[in-house]
């Protein structure tokens, strides 16, 4: 099921149907730009299906590069940005300078683009952006809240990249990794209008007690970080097309389950909340199915997506998917008929090169036999440490796509 979810969102499959036609470009140039974990694979899909001339630049995560002939691929750091991402963002703005009204900019955006385009507003530095990212990642804020703060400190996000392309037409192809699939939250919306303001970003900072450098707070408090708003005439000719999303991946997984004789039920493609709390809730639902036959009958699979959060209190090696799965396993107590997998479809859960892990009826017993205390690992945010020692990690390598978290709970019949 996990493989099917990832395969359904491969750019080679989902990008070509949404490309602009050569007739719509006419005598103008096609310039390709983009950012995200899937952007290089998206660029390759464009090259493989475009017959006319093109050029451009996209930035992706280290290890996620795909060879292209006409579009330059740059690698940079994620989730904490680095100088390579900063330089790539600066060059991207240069690439789209001086375009004509009949030119078309094809912008390829996927999850991870926020960190890969860390161009700060005037008065801020890369170090400021790095400090903000680290603070946000530990705060427990949702992805939409994190991206709201990022947009108001950026010289390229929140519609600013699209404005730099004006007067050319911009066609944005989006591969969604966010709950709700709102374009403004995918890579912090570099080519779409932003309805939020600096006051919203400040409210998020205060809500989570996030400590930020004084220079950063000054940008938000003064209003200097305001982004491009809906109705801006410079965005009037822009188009946005969603090419893949979490719901599509979950439906692909559901088909695999049904072919194997299991009922498949999608609980939601946009579940949010503390990862450990979501894990406990999923365990409670699974136990009700297994023991009561409610609300559905086993054998079945419960599928869900979205993006949970982790408020970091320990110093372990963790990620939101393994944290969710570990909490789920503790709550299930080794139930003999329940199995589960949780993983990030981009192949990286947290900062580890591990997609997630799988859980079985014997997981807790094996851990106890090794002298491991599951609650200690959970309290230390050390999900990767726990599942890694058991040999239950799921390692995919770079998947070249990103449609967010994938969770499957399989319940066998008695």
Which run of H or of E encompasses 408?
A: strand 405-411
Averaged pLDDT for residues 251-266: 98
Residue 43 pLDDT level (bands cut at 50, 70, 90) = very high
Averaged pLDDT for residues 385-405: 97
Q: Mean pLDDT of all residues in the chain?
A: 96
The long-range contacts involving 200-206, CB below 8 angstroms and separated by at least 24 positions, are 200/148, 201/148, 201/149, 201/151, 201/152, 201/153, 201/225, 204/141, 204/145, 204/148, 204/149, 205/149
Cα–Cα distance, 27 to 52 (Å, whole number): 11
Averaged pLDDT for residues 27-52: 96
Residue of 55, 129, 124, 123 whose CA lies nearest to 85: 129
Averaged pLDDT for residues 125-153: 94
Query: How confident is the model over 337-367, as pLDDT tens digits?
Result: 999 999 999 999 998 899 999 999 999 999 9
Is the pLDDT at 235 greater than 90? The verdict is yes
Considering only the C-alpha atoms of the chain, give the largest distance between any 2 of them, rounded to a whole number of Å: 70
User: Helix or strand or coil: residue 80?
Assistant: coil
| Percent of the chain whose pLDDT exceeds 70 | 100
Query: What local confidence, expressed as pLDDT, does residue 352 receive?
Result: 83
Averaged pLDDT for residues 241-263: 97
| Percent of the chain whose pLDDT exceeds 90 | 97
Residue 149 pLDDT level (bands cut at 50, 70, 90) = very high
Before 295, cis peptide (omega within 30)?
A: yes
pTM: 0.92
Query: What local confidence, expressed as pLDDT, does residue 351 receive?
Result: 83
Query: How confident is the model over 360-388, as pLDDT tens digits?
Result: 999 999 999 999 999 999 999 999 999 99
Averaged pLDDT for residues 126-134: 94
Query: How confident is the model over 159-202, as pLDDT tens digits?
Result: 999 999 999 999 999 999 999 999 999 999 999 999 999 999 99
- Cβ atoms 326, 387 nearer than 8 A: yes
Query: How confident is the model over 272-296, as pLDDT tens digits?
Result: 999 999 999 999 999 999 999 999 9
User: Helix or strand or coil: residue 195?
Assistant: coil
CB atoms under 10 Å from CB of 228, counted, come to 22
Is the pLDDT at 109 greater than 90? The verdict is yes
Query: How confident is the model over 151-171, as pLDDT tens digits?
Result: 999 999 999 999 999 999 999
Query: What local confidence, expressed as pLDDT, does residue 197 receive?
Result: 98
């Amino acid at each position: 099921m996990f493989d099917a979810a990832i395969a359904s969102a491969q750019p080679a499959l989902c990008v070509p149907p949404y490309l602009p036609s050569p007739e719509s470009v006419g005598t103008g140039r096609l310039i390709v730009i983009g950012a995200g974990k899937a952007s290089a694979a998206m660029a390759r899909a464009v090259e493989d299906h475009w017959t006319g001339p093109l050029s451009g630049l996209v930035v992706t995560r280290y290890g996620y590069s795909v060879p292209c002939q006409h579009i330059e691929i740059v690698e940079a750091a994620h989730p904490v940005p680095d100088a390579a991402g900063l330089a790539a963002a600066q060059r991207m703005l240069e690439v789209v300078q001086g375009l004509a009204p009949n030119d078309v900019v094809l912008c390829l955006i996927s999850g991870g683009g926020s960190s890969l385009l860390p161009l700060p507003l005037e008065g801020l530095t890369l170090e400021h952006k790095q400090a903000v990212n680290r603070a946000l990642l530990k705060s427990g804020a949702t992805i939409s809240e994190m991206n709201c703060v990022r947009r108001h400190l950026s010289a390229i996000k929140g519609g600013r990249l699209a404005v730099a392309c004006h007067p050319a037409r911009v066609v944005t192809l989006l591969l969604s990794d966010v709950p709700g699939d709102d374009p403004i939250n995918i890579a912090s919306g570099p080519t779409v209008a932003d309805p939020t303001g600096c006051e919203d970003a400040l409210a998020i900072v205060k809500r989570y007690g996030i400590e930020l450098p004084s220079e950063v707070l000054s940008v938000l408090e003064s209003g200097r970080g305001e982004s491009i708003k809906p109705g801006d005439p410079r965005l009037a000719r822009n188009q946005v097309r969603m090419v893949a999303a979490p719901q599509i991946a979950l439906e692909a997984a559901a088909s695999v389950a049904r072919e194997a004789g299991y009922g498949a039920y999608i609980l939601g493609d946009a579940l949010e909340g503390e990862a450990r709390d979501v894990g406990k809730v999923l365990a409670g639902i699974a136990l009700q199915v297994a023991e009561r036959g409610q609300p559905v009958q086993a054998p079945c699979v419960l599928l869900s997506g979205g993006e949970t959060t982790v408020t970091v209190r320990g110093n372990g090696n963790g990620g939101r998917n393994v944290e969710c799965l570990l909490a789920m396993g503790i709550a299930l107590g080794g139930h003999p008929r329940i199995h589960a997998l949780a993983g990030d479809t981009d192949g990286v859960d947290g900062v580890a090169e591990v997609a997630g892990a799988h859980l079985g009826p014997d997981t807790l017993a094996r851990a106890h036999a090794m002298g491991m205390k599951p609650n200690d690992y959970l309290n230390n945010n050390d999900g990767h440490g726990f599942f890694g020692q058991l040999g239950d990690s799921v390692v995919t390598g770079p998947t070249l796509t990103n449609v967010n978290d994938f969770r499957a709970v399989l319940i066998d019949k008695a």
